């Protein structure tokens, strides 16, 4: 496709003349200026931007944006600008030297004028792109430090040739073994001390964290705040103190920019409730008060009118080995009216699902409050949601708010669509057991995935309750809290995917076919295909991968007596074939019951036995086989996205008169543009 850039941003071609000779300068495009593709007249777009290492970078469309009135388009624009303004917070949260390293890498990337066809340069390019994709020097999924495939000597020559300065620990860590794991949740180690994530001072231990929060302010009785959510815990003058992320505090310069754009968004809010919700978010960023954060979360979850919504703040705690601190994240959303109407039926029937679940009666909620579910189209992402993005989100995370005020569940419809547009069937054909399994996946797989995501987010995360007097999961289940919660939500979805209720609600026509496709895909992924994401010899460590393995491995083992899932070897290849889907559903129900018991009772030892016994270790023979079988496929196992660019047009007075949606031409161009225009933090914070 033809590339283009905004008029005036490219450096012009010049012609220099003298009486003796004519000289022509070379056109040079400003690498920091956004460059766009030209979408075909029929509206069809190439979703794939590029592929490198284990990553594909895709584009996504924003259906419905053109139909919004200008005021709502402005709201979307201001919210995306607010999100991008905090981008560097995520980089610094991920690792204390990330911003220093990124500045050096980008300077080399832009200014090097040597041989760009050499294997060394190509290895350097790939390393830079991997760092961009991961928001730092640790892999976005495995948490392992990215290893450069160029030598220290070559890197030194690049630094010299481009007059780039990088020294000390920030230089050494690129090549040494220090800080090799961003987040380490393994059993038997000091999880805080051995994790490189920048949520704690380098000398802080797991015991320090537990001691500090034992006596810290926890909020009103029965309404605990998410203690530690928006701060870094450090030792100053021998005492443990929190450096709060707020205006005037840590990350204050970026947060002030976020506030600036949120103020503009408030000025074009769709209604008074939405404006008041934004005002509370601004107040939270100004004060850092977690009581205000809870006020905001209540206002946000109960603000359901309007076509535009957002996620903004320090949200998910997966990157904290102790489960306290939230990574910076933003997602700006536009309603998908058609799909939301179809899927709202789940939230309307949430109590039925809770009442009919296999949980112990005392662990069921008697009144599932306000679970809303919508399919939305993403208009922009930043922080923990970009470039690698979720496909579904359920918030807020504070349990008492969810129980008393409800939650919002969203499925990111255009993201799911972009994934499917860039997919293929070759890998599927390789790992399915037979033609029937392949045909079920082809016919029902996409619907099964959408329904599982919906059930996971709407019913799963809203289900169950903690026994009176039992602490929050981050306190009781500790480093296993996140994977236990994700596994529990998965199990709720799996249990109900074979339930006739889905047909009764009009969500499926063939419950059995959709359920079979979902069960086949889950077991195939949990026991085999997700292993393509790991290097041979590695344990499973990412929380979602861990939960998929412990769920799959547990039901496989427990069903062996009745041959529920059969391990088949054919022509030297391993397959898993489900012989009895109804018995498998019963096993999912049994495991769901036990998982909820563990959460409700805060049974740490049972959580450890389940996760360590089934979720961490990998059968090395199976892993080697899977990697060998996967070698024939060139499609990368991970995907992420470059954001569409919202380009405002203004009149002579500077007022926005229109906003156009443009598609980025290249991943590196967007990353360089972001680095230049949204870097509001010093390299050391």
* pLDDT value of position 182: 97
C-beta neighbour count of 242 within 10 angstroms: 18
* pLDDT value of position 82: 98
Dump pLDDT digits (tens) for 207-226: 999 999 999 999 999 999 99
Average pLDDT over residues 37-57: 86
Return contacts of 670-677, CB within 8 angstroms, 24+ apart.
Answer: 670/34, 670/642, 670/643, 670/645, 671/106, 671/129, 671/132, 672/31, 672/32, 672/106, 672/109, 672/110, 673/32, 673/33, 673/34, 674/84, 674/87, 675/102, 675/103, 675/106, 676/32, 677/32
Q: What does 621-632 look like in DSSP terms, one character per residue?
A: HHHHHHHHHHTT
C-beta neighbour count of 571 within 10 angstroms: 4
Dump pLDDT digits (tens) for 354-397: 999 999 999 999 998 767 788 899 999 999 999 999 988 989 99
* pLDDT value of position 14: 31
User: Backbone phi, then psi, for 381, in 5-degree steps?
Assistant: -140, 155
Rounded CA separation 435/230 (Å): 51
Strands 371-383 and 407-412: parallel
Tokens standing for 3?
């590339």
- Strand order of the β-sheet with 371-383 is 308-314, 328-335, 371-383, 407-412, 392-395
Rounded CA separation 449/125 (Å): 35
Rounded CA separation 550/615 (Å): 4
* pLDDT value of position 15: 29
Average pLDDT over residues 18-41: 66
* pLDDT value of position 7: 28
Half-sphere exposure of 160 (CA within 13 A, CB side): 6
Phi-psi region of 147 (alpha: psi -120 to 50; beta: other; left: phi over 0): beta
CB contact at 8 A, 455 and 346: yes
CB contact at 8 A, 95 and 683: no
For the chain, how many helices (H) and strands (E)?
25, 18
Q: Where does the pLDDT of residue 22 fall: very low under 50, low under 70, confident under 90, or very high at 90 and above?
A: very low
**Count of residues making up the chain:** 685
Tokens standing for 637?
């196992």
Across 282-293, b (16+ Cβ under 10 Å) vs e yields bebbebbbbebb
* pLDDT value of position 368: 87
* pLDDT value of position 637: 87
Dump pLDDT digits (tens) for 265-308: 999 999 999 999 999 999 999 999 999 999 999 999 999 999 99
DSSP code of 17? E
Q: What is the mean pLDDT of the chain?
A: 92
Please name the residue ranges forming H helices in 459-603.
473-476, 481-497, 501-504, 511-527, 543-558, 581-601
**Is residue 565 classed as helix, strand or coil in its secondary structure?**
strand
Average pLDDT over residues 436-449: 93
Rounded CA separation 305/408 (Å): 12
CA distances from 286 to 247, 292, 293, 312 (A): 5, 10, 11, 14
Among 189-193, 321-325, 339-343, which stretch is predicted with the lowest mean pLDDT? 339-343
CB contact at 8 A, 5 and 36: yes
Please name the residue ranges forming H helices in 528-619.
543-558, 581-601, 604-611
Q: CB under 8 Å to 673, separation ≥6 — which residues?
A: 32, 33, 34
Tokens standing for 437?
């399994």
- Whether 23 shows a pLDDT value over 50: the answer reads no
- Whether 13 shows a pLDDT value over 50: the answer reads no
Dump pLDDT digits (tens) for 459-508: 999 899 999 999 989 899 999 999 999 999 999 999 999 999 999 999 99
C-beta neighbour count of 256 within 10 angstroms: 16
Closest by CA to 521, choosing from 596, 610, 440, is 440
Exposed (0-12), middle (13-18) or buried (19+): which is 639, by Cβ within 10 Å?
buried
Average pLDDT over residues 565-576: 96
- Whether 340 shows a pLDDT value over 90: the answer reads no
Dump pLDDT digits (tens) for 90-120: 999 999 999 999 999 999 999 999 999 999 9
* pLDDT value of position 422: 67
Rounded CA separation 173/377 (Å): 39
Average pLDDT over residues 326-351: 88
Half-sphere exposure of 187 (CA within 13 A, CB side): 16
* pLDDT value of position 343: 74
Q: What is the largest CA-CA distance in the chain?
A: 95
Average pLDDT over residues 666-677: 97
Exposed (0-12), middle (13-18) or buried (19+): which is 682, by Cβ within 10 Å?
exposed
Across 350-388, b (16+ Cβ under 10 Å) vs e yields beebbeebbbeeebbbeebbbbbbbbbbbbbbbbbbbbb
Spans of all domains in the chain: 425-631
Percent of the chain with pLDDT over 90: 84
Cis previous bond, 387, omega within 30: yes
Average pLDDT over residues 73-78: 98
Q: CB under 8 Å to 118, separation ≥6 — which residues?
A: none
**Is residue 316 classed as helix, strand or coil in its secondary structure?**
coil
Q: Where does the pLDDT of residue 35 fall: very low under 50, low under 70, confident under 90, or very high at 90 and above?
A: very high
């Amino acid at each position: 496709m033809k590339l283009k850039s905004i008029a005036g941003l490219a450096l012009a071609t010049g012609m220099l003349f003298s009486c003796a000779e004519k000289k022509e300068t070379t056109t040079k495009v400003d690498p920091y200026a956004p460059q766009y593709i030209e979408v075909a007249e029929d509206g069809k777009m190439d979703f794939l931007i590029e592929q490198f290492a284990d990553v594909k970078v895709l584009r996504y469309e924003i259906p419905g944006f053109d139909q919004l009135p200008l005021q709502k388009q402005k709201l979307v624009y201001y919210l995306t600008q607010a999100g991008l303004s905090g981008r560097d917070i995520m980089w610094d949260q991920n690792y204390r030297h990330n911003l220093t390293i990124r500045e050096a890498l980008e300077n080399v990337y832009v200014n090097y004028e040597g041989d760009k066809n050499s294997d060394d340069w190509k290895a350097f390019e790939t390393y830079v792109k991997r760092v961009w994709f991961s928001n730092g020097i640790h892999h976005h999924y495995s948490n392992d430090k990215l290893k450069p495939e160029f030598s220290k000597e070559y890197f030194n020559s690049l630094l010299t040739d481009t007059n780039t300065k990088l020294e000390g620990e920030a230089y050494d860590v690129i090549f040494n073994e220090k800080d090799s794991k961003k987040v380490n949740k393994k059993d038997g180690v000091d999880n805080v001390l051995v994790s490189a994530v920048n949520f704690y001072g380098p000398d802080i231990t797991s015991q320090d964290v537990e001691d500090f929060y034992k006596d810290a302010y926890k909020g009103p009785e029965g309404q605990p705040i998410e203690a530690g959510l928006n701060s870094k815990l450090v030792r100053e003058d021998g005492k443990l103190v929190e450096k709060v992320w707020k205006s005037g505090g840590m990350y204050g310069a970026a947060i002030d920019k976020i506030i600036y754009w949120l103020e503009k968004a408030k000025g074009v809010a769709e209604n008074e409730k939405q404006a008041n919700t934004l005002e509370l978010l601004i107040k939270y960023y100004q004060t850092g008060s977690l009581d205000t954060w809870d006020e905001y979360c209540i206002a946000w979850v109960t603000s359901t009118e309007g076509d535009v919504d957002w996620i903004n703040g320090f949200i998910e705690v997966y990157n904290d080995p102790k489960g306290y601190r939230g990574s910076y994240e933003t997602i700006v959303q536009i309603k998908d009216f058609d799909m939301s109407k179809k899927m709202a039926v789940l939230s309307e029937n949430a109590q039925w699902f809770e009442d009919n679940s296999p949980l112990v009666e005392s662990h069921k909620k008697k009144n599932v409050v306000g679970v809303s579910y919508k399919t939305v189209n993403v208009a922009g992402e930043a922080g923990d949601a970009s470039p690698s993005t979720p496909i579904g989100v359920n918030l807020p995370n504070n349990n008492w708010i969810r129980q008393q005020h409800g939650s919002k569940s969203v499925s990111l419809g255009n993201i799911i669509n972009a994934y499917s547009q860039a997919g293929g069937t070759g890998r599927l054909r390789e790992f399915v057991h037979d033609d029937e399994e392949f045909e079920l996946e082809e016919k029902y797989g996409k619907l099964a995935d959408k329904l599982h995501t919906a059930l996971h987010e709407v019913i799963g995360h809203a289900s169950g309750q903690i026994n009176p007097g039992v602490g929050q999961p981050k306190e009781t289940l500790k480093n296993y809290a996140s994977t236990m919660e994700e596994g529990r939500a998965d199990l709720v979805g799996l249990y109900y995917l074979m339930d006739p209720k889905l047909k009764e609600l009009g969500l499926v026509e063939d419950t059995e076919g959709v359920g079979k496709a979902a069960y086949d895909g889950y077991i195939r992924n949990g026991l085999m295909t997700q292993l393509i994401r790991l290097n041979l010899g590695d344990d499973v460590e990412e929380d979602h991968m861990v939960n998929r393995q412990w769920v799959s491995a547990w039901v496989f083992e427990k069903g062996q007596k009745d041959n529920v899932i059969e391990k088949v070897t054919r022509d030297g290849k391993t397959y898993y074939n489900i012989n009895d889907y109804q018995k498998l559903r019963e096993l999912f129900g049994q495991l769901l019951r036990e998982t909820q018991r563990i959460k409700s009772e805060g049974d740490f030892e049972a959580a450890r036995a389940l996760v360590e016994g089934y979720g961490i270790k990998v059968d090395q023979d199976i892993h080697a086989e899977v990697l060998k079988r996967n070698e024939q496929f060139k499609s990368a196992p991970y995907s992420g996205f470059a954001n569409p660019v919202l380009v405002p047009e203004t009149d002579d007075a500077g007022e926005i008169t229109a906003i156009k949606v443009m598609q980025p031409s290249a991943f590196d161009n967007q990353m360089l543009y972001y680095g230049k225009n949204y870097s509001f933090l010093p390299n050391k914070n």
